[in-house]
Amino acid sequence: MSPSLHLPHPPHHHAPTTSTNAASHAPPASQKGQHYAETLDSIRRLALWTSQAPALAKGAVNYNAVPDSPEPASSSNGASTTGMEWNEVLRKFRKHNPNRTITAATAHCERTLRCLLAKARTPSGPPSSAADPVRPPPLPAHITSSDRPAATEALAELQATLKSAQGTPVELDSAGIVLAFGKWAIGEPDQALAQLQTGVRERGLPQTGPWEAYDLTLRVLALALQGHALESLVRQSDALVAYIHAGQLYEAALAALSGAPNRDSDDVSLHRVGGDVLVRIALLSRLGASASAYNGTTTDPSLLETSYSAHRSYLAHSSSFSRSAAAFPLSSLSLMHRSFRSLQATLSRWNPAVISHNNRAEERILRRTTRLPKAGETNREYLRFLDEVVETWKLQGAPREGADEVIEILYNALTHTFQSQLLLRHLVRALTIVGRHEEAAKALRLYRELWDKARETDAKEVAKEMRELRTRAMREASGGVAEKAIDEKVGSSADGAVDEPYAVDIDSDGDFVETVVFGVRLLCRYFDDRASEAVEIARRAKAICDDGKDERLKANTAAQAAVERALGVALGALARQDPEPTRRAKRHAESLEHLRRAVSLNAHSSGNHFSLAYHELEQRRVQEALEAARQSVRLDPSSKEAWHLLALCASAQKDMRGALEVLETAIDLTDSSTAVGTADGLPLPNGDAAPHSAPQREALRQNAAKRWDQPLDETERLATEVQLRLTKNAVIEYLEGASSALADQQEVLAYFSSRNAALAPASPAGSASTMVASDRPVAQSKMQNLAAPSAGSAGVSRAGSILSRHRSLKRKSQAASTSALSPLPPLHAEEAAAVSTPARSVAGTSTAASVATAASNRSPTTAPTVRASPESSPLASRSLASTWLASAASFRRGGKLEEARGAISEAEAADLDNPDVWTQYALVLLAKGDVDKAKDVLDRAMALNENDVTLAVIRARMYLTPSPASGSDATSEATKSDDDPDGVAPTWKRPLPSDWVALHVPLAEAMLETLTERDAYDSPEAWFELSRCYKLTGRPEDERRCLVEALNLERSRPIRTLGKALERCL
């Protein structure tokens, strides 16, 4: 059932009080009379006006003659020439229905008028790509002046019949409607109105006397004619009211005919009239919603609602009617698809099913009516369609659930477009949003090559020349005749032709720059090894901006700032990977220069300040980073990434309580956003509910624009949220110790489980591990018994915890001055988790999820183990594994090695190829003194990621640590320490035997010197271990230099590694 139209005061169209079977309402007649009455009614319903043989020899309807389109035809469409002609059908009807002379005369007159109108009409295809989707199409054509005498004669014959013959009220009204139709057809709208006023008694469904199905079509036609006449007399408001009444009657007629024979296939004429009415309602009501025609200054919501309903009704009928091709013209279908798409954007009303249906229906039309363009041409209609589909998706906020269909539509268009820059530009973004990053990178590369080639060859001029050559060749082949038709077919060769919409498929400089900026984000965010490619395309975009050929781009400082920012980000990513110190420093400096220029060009962009702050902090310029991060938060207080970066900057200044307050503020913002039922600030799709208010629509557009430039799917947003919570967890462990951190991780797990529907509780028996299959503990049972840590554990004696408050800074922590941990060495939170002893670490290691249960002074409650299901995305599984690893690190630092091993096993089950899994397992083995097995595990971890700094530092530290088998008496007593709960001294306090120095220190020194020049240039652990090498080999100056470097790096380092806690690109 199609949606009903919304009317201020809808008229009531009562259904007939007798049976709804249309055939039962015909006047009594013989069997043959009934047969020919049904035949005549059916061929009128089927609109067989121009068919030479609308019926077969024995009077049955010739369904083969049904037209395959509403376009005019001068002869029958495939009709058998041995069938019964129109005049013969009418003769048989009169013979066997002698009392229905008026019906025969009415049918004859209408058939004459329809044939004459068919001669006046010209076939029309889909509207031009430049057509306005809001402007109503022209009114139905009039009969040409040369044919008007024949029309006038037919009208006179009908009038004469009315004077001489008797008829039922329904027959008389139907004849009066055809007379009014004739007046309109010959160009007399005022006479048509007069005829409708005086010659038609009933305006709704027939209530008196017998009626046939086609009589309902004529009733709808009467109101449609009234609207046409009023519109032609420039009475738009009155015309719209008439059309709305006609639309209501159209729906009522369909309901009344729902039980009639062949209802689903015979009502071609009704749908033609009703479809035309709905088109005019949809577009005139949109036009009337604006007080000043097109400027949209004052919008009437009720008219927009009427327009929306009319669009829905039209599209529903055009898709459900079995003979839709015969009833709904392609031009009207295309126009309504476009208009509905723009109306949805106006109302910000998004129904995914309706959007998909609308897009697919128009796609089918275009694939049937357009072709692959020739050289120098473009498929304008198809390009316009692609642009509108993507724009609609963009205005929805570019949701991932709609991206697959957009991608399919774009790929389907490859058969009807040729080397389309527009298509590739949209494909880059859609593929990125859906997570098909490799395909997106290939599309970006191809797009850049096509654009560069077009720019070098001046493709617009080439297209113009190709068009002129083809026109000349066609004229020569035709011998100079039909020049006008050739020009229309090929297109004008005037200079302005290539400037029409979609006349050439070449992106502007602005479009290219925007795509490159997005491409830099793609390459830097989702690839570890394509920073050089990102720098290359960013430099190309910078050169285009500097050329200044595009005046709009030249005046667009925001776009120029975006290019500067993209280049700065790409250079920073490349510098991070650069192994050569001098070149790396130069690239870092160049990166900051471009980012500062971006801020100067567009100081109102939160993203510009964010990128500047990120790279300042990466270079340990903490004060400058802090100021930029504060400005980023001021400009966009809803940005969780900006708040997170601000907290990291505060932690780099060792203001841990300030960092904690910032983190909790950001988490509170997140909770508030979730509470109102929105996703990333965007209201959920509202289907066919009432439209959003104007402020809501504006907020929707702003958020959609933000998501267009910085698209994140639900899993990425979840990872961002959990990273925020893990940074908070690291700060808590810094302030209160491992047991408090474990209790907080319990809350992180609860959050992760509630947000990730792809995860499900799993029993311990369901887990499988290859790493510790022989001696893996059952993590759950041991973890669930940690409600009260032993008195000897580090950090357990705290009487109060940050976790016992909703906001950590509402009161002072009782643990601030009672830390049971020994003094902290110069270790970073994440790297400390990997390279320090359990008693001396700061915080947890990795990303995104949580631990199943943990110790807490405030509550002994436990949580179920969470594991990734097979349907989980790789990012979700990786996030879950990283959180288990964070839990393992906290357990290890708390001295609970068995529980740590259980958490590591869960991490392995979530993400087997994660090198951090093996790193943490090696640390547990080292803590237990199993050095040989730890070496094997480290070898496997380095096979997964040979460039991992933490692994290399651990390996170097192992080289500098003598094994128990070394036989050194010096290590027997010196390894004892009162500072360590296990009685084992830190590795840097253990003396080394001279033979151990000779064998292993050179290996460690070579490894660490390479590390500090390349990947570990900003790792204080690496510099510290290198200082030990120099100390053992008697080089005090080099030792001092390394210690100073390690100390300086530690003083300016945030609580977590920047690259692990926060993405470089928003």
Q: What 3-state DSSP class applies to 236?
A: helix
The pLDDT tens digits for 558-593 are: 999 999 999 999 999 999 888 888 888 999 999 999
Task: Break the chain into its structural domains and give their ranges.
Answer: 213-341, 350-479+500-507, 509-603, 733-798+824-946, 947-1034
Percent pLDDT > 90 in the chain is 34
Which of 668-705 are b and which e, b meaning 16 or more Cβ less than 10 Å from the residue's Cβ? ebbeeeeeeeeebbbbebeeeeebbeeeebebbeebbe
Q: What is the mean pLDDT of residues 823-852?
A: 35
Q: How many CB atoms lie within 10 A of CB 763?
A: 10
Q: Estimate to the nearest angstrom the gap between the alpha carbon of 448 and the chain centroid.
A: 23
Does residue 520 or residue 200 have the better pLDDT? 520
Q: What is the mean pLDDT of residues 148-164?
A: 92
Q: What is the mean pLDDT of residues 34-45?
A: 92
Does residue 835 or residue 212 have the better pLDDT? 212
Q: What 3-state DSSP class applies to 185?
A: helix
Over 50: is that where the pLDDT of 852 sits? no
Over 50: is that where the pLDDT of 3 sits? no
Rg (CA), the chain: 39
* Of the listed ranges 33-47, 441-455, 780-794, the one predicted with least confidence: 780-794
Output the CA–CA distances (angstroms, integers) from residue 447 to 292, 390, 429, in the order listed: 42, 17, 12
Cβ atoms of 764 and 865 within 8 Å: the answer is yes
* Of the listed ranges 44-48, 284-288, 295-299, the one predicted with least confidence: 295-299
Which residue is listed with tokens 């079977």?
Answer: 21
For 384-440, where are the E strands, in sequence order? none
Over 90: is that where the pLDDT of 448 sits? yes
> How sure is the predictor about 106, in pLDDT bands with cuts at 50, 70 and 90?
very high
Q: How many CB atoms lie within 10 A of CB 137?
A: 17
Which residues, other chains included, contact 125 with Cβ-Cβ below 8 Å and sequence gap of 6+?
Answer: 330, 331, 369
The pLDDT tens digits for 359-398 are: 999 999 999 888 888 877 889 899 999 999 999 998 888 8
Q: What 3-state DSSP class applies to 762?
A: coil
Q: What is the DSSP letter of 333?
A: H
Which residues, other chains included, contact 755 with Cβ-Cβ below 8 Å and sequence gap of 6+?
Answer: 718, 721
**Structure tokens given for 12:** 């009531």
At residue 245, what is the residue type? H
* Of the listed ranges 88-102, 296-310, 457-471, the one predicted with least confidence: 457-471
> How sure is the predictor about 157, in pLDDT bands with cuts at 50, 70 and 90?
very high
> How sure is the predictor about 809, in pLDDT bands with cuts at 50, 70 and 90?
very low
pLDDT at 897: 87
**Structure tokens given for 553:** 């781009």
Cβ atoms of 223 and 289 within 8 Å: the answer is no
pLDDT at 816: 36
Does residue 312 or residue 881 have the better pLDDT? 312
Q: What is the DSSP letter of 416?
A: T
Which residue is listed with tokens 């003194």?
Answer: 929
**Structure tokens given for 176:** 């009066």
> How sure is the predictor about 429, in pLDDT bands with cuts at 50, 70 and 90?
very high
Give residue 657's region: left, alpha or beta (phi > 0; psi -120 to 50).
Answer: alpha
> How sure is the predictor about 681, in pLDDT bands with cuts at 50, 70 and 90?
very low
- Burial of 51 from C-beta contacts in 10 A (0-12 / 13-18 / 19+): buried
Dihedral angle sign, alpha carbons of residues 908, 910, 915, 919: negative
Q: How many CB atoms lie within 10 A of CB 320?
A: 11
Residue 457, beta-bridge partner list: none
Cβ atoms of 843 and 734 within 8 Å: the answer is yes
Which residues, other chains included, contact 93 with Cβ-Cβ below 8 Å and sequence gap of 6+?
Answer: 36, 37, 39, 40, 100, 103, 104, 107
Q: What 3-state DSSP class applies to 162?
A: helix
- Calpha distance 347→343 (Å, rounded): 6
Does residue 52 or residue 21 have the better pLDDT? 52
Cβ atoms of 644 and 651 within 8 Å: the answer is no
Over 80: is that where the pLDDT of 170 sits? yes
Closest CA to 959 of 1036, 1026, 893, 1018: 1026
Q: What is the mean pLDDT of residues 228-235?
A: 92
pLDDT at 827: 35
pLDDT at 443: 94
Does residue 792 or residue 72 have the better pLDDT? 72
pLDDT at 648: 94
**Structure tokens given for 1025:** 């271990």
CATH code reported for the domain at 350-479+500-507: 1.25.40
Cβ atoms of 273 and 220 within 8 Å: the answer is yes
- Calpha distance 512→514 (Å, rounded): 5
pLDDT at 66: 84
Over 90: is that where the pLDDT of 554 sits? no
- Calpha distance 311→349 (Å, rounded): 13
The pLDDT tens digits for 996-1032 are: 677 778 888 888 888 888 888 888 888 888 888 888 8
- Calpha distance 479→469 (Å, rounded): 16
Dihedral angle sign, alpha carbons of residues 659, 660, 664, 670: positive
pLDDT at 696: 64
Greatest mean pLDDT among 20-29, 252-261, 521-530, 699-708 lies in 521-530
> What are φ and ψ of residue 448, in 5° steps?
-65, -40
The pLDDT tens digits for 953-999 are: 888 888 887 765 544 443 333 334 333 434 444 555 555 556 667 77
Cβ atoms of 868 and 910 within 8 Å: the answer is yes
Greatest mean pLDDT among 55-64, 112-121, 628-637 lies in 628-637
pLDDT at 72: 59
Q: What is the DSSP letter of 738?
A: H
> How sure is the predictor about 944, in pLDDT bands with cuts at 50, 70 and 90?
confident
> How sure is the predictor about 550, in pLDDT bands with cuts at 50, 70 and 90?
confident
Q: How many CB atoms lie within 10 A of CB 768?
A: 11
pLDDT at 934: 84
List alpha helices for 855-948, DSSP H: 874-893, 897-910, 915-927, 931-944
- How far separated are the first and last CA of the chain, in Å rounded? 46
Closest CA to 1062 of 486, 652, 671: 652
pLDDT at 104: 93
Closest CA to 302 of 5, 684, 687, 698: 5
Which residue is listed with tokens 């008693």?
Answer: 839
Q: What is the mean pLDDT of the chain?
A: 77
Cβ atoms of 301 and 343 within 8 Å: the answer is no
Percent pLDDT > 70 in the chain is 72
Q: What 3-state DSSP class applies to 866?
A: strand
Q: What is the mean pLDDT of residues 93-118?
A: 93
**Helix 459-478 vs helix 437-457: crossing angle, to nearest 10:** 70
pLDDT at 787: 31
Half-sphere exposure of 229 (CA within 13 A, CB side): 25
Does residue 1023 or residue 296 have the better pLDDT? 1023
pLDDT at 682: 47
Q: Which pTM value belongs to this model?
A: 0.78
Which residues, other chains included, contact 1006 with Cβ-Cβ below 8 Å and sequence gap of 6+?
Answer: none
- Calpha distance 604→558 (Å, rounded): 9
Output the CA–CA distances (angstroms, integers) from residue 34 to 45, 100, 644, in the order listed: 16, 11, 82
Which residues, other chains included, contact 246 with Cβ-Cβ below 8 Å and sequence gap of 6+?
Answer: 220, 223, 224, 226, 227, 273, 274, 277
DSSP assignment string, 276-324: HHHHHHHHHHHHHTBTTTTS-SSB-HHHHHHHHHHHHHHHHHHHH-TTH
- Calpha distance 540→522 (Å, rounded): 16
> What are φ and ψ of residue 824, in 5° steps?
-80, 135
Which residues, other chains included, contact 770 with Cβ-Cβ below 8 Å and sequence gap of 6+?
Answer: 908, 912
**Structure tokens given for 67:** 């037209």
> How sure is the predictor about 800, in pLDDT bands with cuts at 50, 70 and 90?
very low
**Structure tokens given for 711:** 């698209």
At residue 330, what is the residue type? L
pLDDT at 830: 45
> How sure is the predictor about 480, in pLDDT bands with cuts at 50, 70 and 90?
low
DSSP assignment string, 794-845: TTTT-S--GGGSSSGGGS--TTTT---SPPPPS--HHHHHHHS-GGG--S--
pLDDT at 763: 37
pLDDT at 262: 60
pLDDT at 955: 84
Cβ atoms of 320 and 312 within 8 Å: the answer is no
pLDDT at 565: 94
Residue 55, beta-bridge partner list: 61, 84
- Calpha distance 129→126 (Å, rounded): 9
**Structure tokens given for 1026:** 């290198």
- Calpha distance 497→64 (Å, rounded): 43
Does residue 854 or residue 170 have the better pLDDT? 170
